[in-house]
Amino acid sequence: MKPEEHAWQELQRRASAQLRGGFADRVVRTARGPQEDSWRALFSVGARQLRPGFAERVLRAARAAAEMPSLASQFALSAATAAVCLGAVLFVHHQTVEAADERNLAEWQAIVAVAEDDAAGL
């Protein structure tokens, strides 16, 4: 027998000595969950603890919480969205105009340089 096998057997022996009787049965029962009659008993106990009309009150509260937003809040959201869109359009326009101005200035500087070279050669 290899030393590792002996160590594993010793570990299993000590671990099984630590467990109380019926451990495996309790684990299997817990993994499967309560039986059908246990669920019925839990439901009946829970139902007795709720006052009549509980579900109706919960639905009414949920519907009240999910009211439509007011006209003013819808207008404010629309105005904020329009302002953000306008800001984005103005930013892009400014960047485009600035790039065109730089390109045009560079072209004019090239034209001026060519014209000065021609004037100097005459």
What pLDDT, on a 0 to 100 scale, did the predictor assign at position 70? 86
What pLDDT, on a 0 to 100 scale, did the predictor assign at position 39? 81
Strands of 1-120 (E only): list them: none
Q: What is the pLDDT of residues 109-120, one digit of tens each?
A: 999 999 988 888
What pLDDT, on a 0 to 100 scale, did the predictor assign at position 4? 84
pLDDT at 122 over 80: no
What percentage of residues in the chain have a pLDDT greater than 90? 37
Distance in angstroms (rounded) separating the CA atoms of residues 100 and 19: 82
Write down the pTM of the prediction.
0.41
Distance in angstroms (rounded) separating the CA atoms of residues 74 and 67: 13
What is the CB neighbour count within 10 angstroms for residue 25? 9
Report helix, strand or coil for 67.
Answer: coil
Query: What is the per-residue DSSP string for 1-14?
Result: --HHHHHHHHHHHH
Question: Which residues, at least 6 apart from 42, have a Cβ–Cβ distance to it below 8 Å?
Answer: 34
44 token code pair: 């009946």
What pLDDT, on a 0 to 100 scale, did the predictor assign at position 1? 63
